Structure 1
Amino acid sequence: MTAFIRRYVALLLLALLLTACSSTGLTQSVDGGTPTATTATHGPGFQTKPILQCPGILADYQGCITPYALRKAYDVESLTNQGFTGKGQTVVVIVSFGSPTLQQDLDTFSKQFGLPSTRLQILSPLGTVPFNNQDKDMVGWAIETTLDVQIIHALAPEANIVVMTSPVSETQGTQGLPEFMKLEQYAVDHKLGQIFSQSWAASEATLTDEAGQKLIQSYADFYKRATLEHNWTILTGSGDQGATDYADLKSTQLVGRRNVTFPADVPWVTAVGGTTLQRTGTTYSEQAWTGSGGGFSTFFAQPDYQRNLTQSGGKRGLPDIAASADPASGMAFYYNKNWSLAGGTSASTPLWAGLIAVANQIAGKPLGFINPKLYQLAQGANAQQNFRDITLGNNSNRSTMGGITVNVEGFQAGPGWDAVTGLGTPKAPSLLRNLAAATQ
């Protein structure tokens, strides 16, 4: 799928959501109002307090989740209280164009939720193009960049964040991918961080030609070196079209069969799927989000760490893991004077990037390639200590696009690994400590 279409769909869903909720008073624009400063000390190193109410008119919508609530949902807050906030770690975000209001939006977000101020590092080694507020693609990327940064900051409040922007939009096929690879190579060469958070994807169906196959092999070789030789962890969303994705370069039609996305399909990448997170009082529950990309690659063989997946047919299965991604129950984020809800695997990916920053801090060094460790920690009795196994829901896609209706039978969430939510969602204290211990 294209980066733009994914973000546009998420925004469309949000617009429909707010319209559907008009009976509860959600009829005006989502205006942020005056941010609320906080003073209570809640954890070492910064000021915050338990905030469960979202700002503006989102306060009336039960599905809205605050940073504190998101940390509580995965028990990250207990680590935050112990000073494990991602301090000393750096997450690198790869995007097209970026956002001209990125820093001030983050400042407002931080003030609203009592998070520490963070000065972003924004790098554009390939150059920039003027930002056009009338260009839906650019605006889509700006929103994507904003929610990526704010979710990372919510989960790892003292981690450093580097945003690397490309002057070319990544869409489908090879469009924009050479530029992204140059940015990633620059980040590795210049030792800018140890974690990549990537909320972009291209359908495997658009990469079957010679140019596409050559490029994905170059990516796979680079990712192998980055993870094994330079100890980077690479996190990528598994897509938002369930068990299929786009069929054409303009993202106007869906593939009428099961199909997965690149680069989530690369064995050296940790593919992140999505769930629907629900809060009832102080308790949280999850089920598979129907949009969670998942299935089996036609490009890559089954890696060793997935050798126990008998249903794979010898192919790379994805996703590996999952987290909150349903835009109907997303975290509040602030962009250009408005509050919105984060959604898609574009939201679950930076969530996991924040978690890995915390795990790196616990370990005192970068974890690097985490996939084999994740699968080891999901085996036997230890699985229940480390993962919340998601057993409800599926990622079937029955929809109409471009006048064509597709009915793609997806995968069912179930015990153990599945092609909707992978190994499940994190039980952060145990999982992150065990990941850290596995690197010693």
Structure 2
Amino acid sequence: MKKEFLRYWCSLSLLLTLLLAACGGGGGDNGEQPTKQPLVTPTVPQTATTEPVTSCPARLKEVRTCLTPYTLRQVYGVQSLIDKGYTGKGQTVVLIESFGSPTIKEDTDAFSKTFGLPPADIEVISPLNVPEKDPHNDKYGWMQETTLDVQIVHSIAPEAKIVILVSPVAETQGTFGLPEYRQLEQYILDHKLGNIVSQSWGASELTLQDKAARDELNKWDALLKKGALEHHITYLSSSGDSGATDYIDQESTRLGDKPTTVFSASNPWGLAVGGTTVLPKKSGGYTERAWNGSGGGFSSIFALPEYQKKLPAQVQQMLQNRRGVPDVSANADPATGLAYYLKGNWSMAGGTSASAPLWAGLIAIANQMAGKPLGFINPALYQLATTPAYNQCFHDITTGDNTNREADVEGYPAVQGWDPVTGLGTPNAEKLLPELIKIQHA
């Protein structure tokens, strides 16, 4: 998430410097009509090059844990779908961002050229006529956020259209920025912009406890419910980057001393996406563990949704009728991230800001495969988790935890099945997406 990204990037910069020194070297569909067949056969794949790029550019090249679009797709079983022509073509992913980035098109062109991707189809819309508000003077941080969101979606679904919906008001903590974001969400419905909405931001529930906050969240709940059920939109939200707790103040300077979750990930009408650490194995391939920063836990605002009642009895004892976060996860550790390009510089994407748009790209591919928007997929995912196909469709993460040692807040371990740090796990897309479509079509 943007608010914590710079903090993690400072730590990562030091890590990269040490690594490089040691090595000697110097991150819409617009309501298509349903088809009769469960999977749509695509046209011939449209790719810019046939040779995969497996090494990161520039100074990141010597960082063994740096990922390229190709290697990221290999980790999550996406490359075989790309090879068959499932590239997100005909789909639209909408990103909700503050301020956006004035160089997003040039930067993504350079990113695409480096990694042999087709040019990205990007549209920037700034529909709000309200005064600019940036209390933390953090436009560069939002440039980073916008850039990594776009380039991750483009890496996973290279032929999907990306709409950046820009607010002139920063989202910080509490309700600051949320009314403007809600207007953008309404704009998506009114103008039928797309059926996938990715939200790499969040407000700590510790800052959303008063009546004004609850009133705002009630408006959000009604809007997201309408979008999910009536407009068939899949909402994806970052689960947070502070582990089992989050900030307690508007300035994001003081961490809470008790567990919490973040909105909008805690809203039950969207898919909450947590984080993992992806590491290459010496023998080839990759392994994953829970990323310590992955936001996860139990909402103090939203009750247990019906779909999470499918989880086993021992999990229900933890949930205690509360919405559990996250639902799923993907790579979010900034030390193992995708290389992304901003204003002449290569960095590595990190935070659950990276895992949410990755899942958005997967849903673009799934919608293309299905020939229609899948919409509200949470019930189908939890139903799938009760079947024998679960172990083929998901990488079940069983190591690591999200204890926040800075705040001394004990987190949760990653265990077999769902857990409040990695959810159901990370995707094996070539198995998961067909099964997901099958359940949604049933």
TM-score (norm 2): 0.91
Query: Equivalent residue of 1:47, what SS?
Result: coil
User: Matches of 1:322 and 1:197 in 2, distance apart?
Assistant: 14
User: Matches of 1:172 and 1:341 in 2, distance apart?
Assistant: 25
Deviation string, structure 1 residues 126-148 (Cα, Å, up to 9, x no partner):
1488999xx85100000000000
1:324 to 331, 343, 349: 331
User: Matches of 1:21 and 1:128 in 2, distance apart?
Assistant: 45
Deviation string, structure 1 residues 222-254 (Cα, Å, up to 9, x no partner):
100000000000000000000000011111100
Aligned to 1:224: 225
Shift of 1:270: 0.4
Shift of 1:17: 1.9
User: Matches of 1:184 and 1:130 in 2, distance apart?
Assistant: 18
Closer/same/farther in 2, CA of residues 9 and 26 from structure 1, 3 Å limit: farther
1:335 to 339, 342, 349: 342
Whether 1:347 and 2:346 are equivalent positions in the alignment is no
User: Matches of 2:241 and 2:349 in 1, distance apart?
Assistant: 13
2:120 to 115, 118, 121: 118
Query: Equivalent residue of 2:121, what SS?
Result: coil
Aligned to 1:159: 160
Paired residues of 1:19 and 1:27 also in contact (CA < 8 A)? no
Aligned to 2:61: 59
Aligned to 1:10: 8
Deviation string, structure 1 residues 163-193 (Cα, Å, up to 9, x no partner):
0110000000000000001011101110010
Paired residues of 1:97 and 1:129 also in contact (CA < 8 A)? no
Query: Equivalent residue of 2:362, what SS?
Result: helix
Paired residues of 2:133 and 2:170 also in contact (CA < 8 A)? no
In the alignment, residue 15 of structure 2 is paired with which amino acid? L
Aligned to 2:37: none
Whether 1:377 and 2:375 are equivalent positions in the alignment is no
User: Matches of 1:148 and 1:136 in 2, distance apart?
Assistant: 20
User: Matches of 2:52 and 2:308 in 1, distance apart?
Assistant: 39
Paired residues of 1:231 and 1:368 also in contact (CA < 8 A)? yes
User: Matches of 1:157 and 1:27 in 2, distance apart?
Assistant: 31
Aligned to 1:85: 87
Paired residues of 1:291 and 1:344 also in contact (CA < 8 A)? yes
Shift of 1:14: 2.5
TM-score (norm 1): 0.92
Whether 1:285 and 2:283 are equivalent positions in the alignment is no
Overall identity of the aligned pairs, in %: 53
1:364 to 364, 371, 381: 371
Aligned to 2:35: none
Shift of 1:280: 2.5
Unaligned runs of 5+ in 1: 31-42, 400-405
Deviation string, structure 1 residues 270-321 (Cα, Å, up to 9, x no partner):
0000000012264111000000000000001101111133120110000000
Aligned to 2:187: 186
Deviation string, structure 1 residues 37-63 (Cα, Å, up to 9, x no partner):
xxxxxx711223211100001001101
Aligned to 2:47: 46
User: Matches of 1:26 and 1:377 in 2, distance apart?
Assistant: 48
User: Matches of 2:10 and 2:367 in 1, distance apart?
Assistant: 36
Question: What stretches of structure 1 move > 6 A for 4+ residues in a row?
Answer: 128-132
User: Matches of 2:133 and 2:343 in 1, distance apart?
Assistant: 14
Whether 1:416 and 2:417 are equivalent positions in the alignment is yes
In the alignment, residue 316 of structure 1 is paired with which amino acid? R
331-340 or 371-380, which deviates more = 371-380
Closer/same/farther in 2, CA of residues 222 and 131 from structure 1, 3 Å limit: closer
Aligned to 1:391: 398
In the alignment, residue 323 of structure 1 is paired with which amino acid? A
Deviation string, structure 1 residues 59-95 (Cα, Å, up to 9, x no partner):
0110100000000001100000000000000000000
Aligned to 2:32: none
Closer/same/farther in 2, CA of residues 131 and 108 from structure 1, 3 Å limit: farther
13-22 or 247-256, which deviates more = 13-22
Give the paired residue count: 417
Aligned to 1:403: none
Closer/same/farther in 2, CA of residues 146 and 320 from structure 1, 3 Å limit: same
Aligned to 2:273: 272
Written as runs of structure 1 = structure 2, the 5 A alignment for 1:137-148 is: 137-148=138-149
User: Matches of 2:433 and 2:223 in 1, distance apart?
Assistant: 26
Shift of 1:118: 1.8
User: Matches of 2:229 and 2:11 in 1, distance apart?
Assistant: 39
Paired residues of 1:238 and 1:271 also in contact (CA < 8 A)? yes
Paired residues of 1:19 and 1:26 also in contact (CA < 8 A)? no
Paired residues of 2:121 and 2:160 also in contact (CA < 8 A)? no
Paired residues of 1:289 and 1:393 also in contact (CA < 8 A)? yes
Paired residues of 1:172 and 1:248 also in contact (CA < 8 A)? yes
Shift of 1:4: 4.6
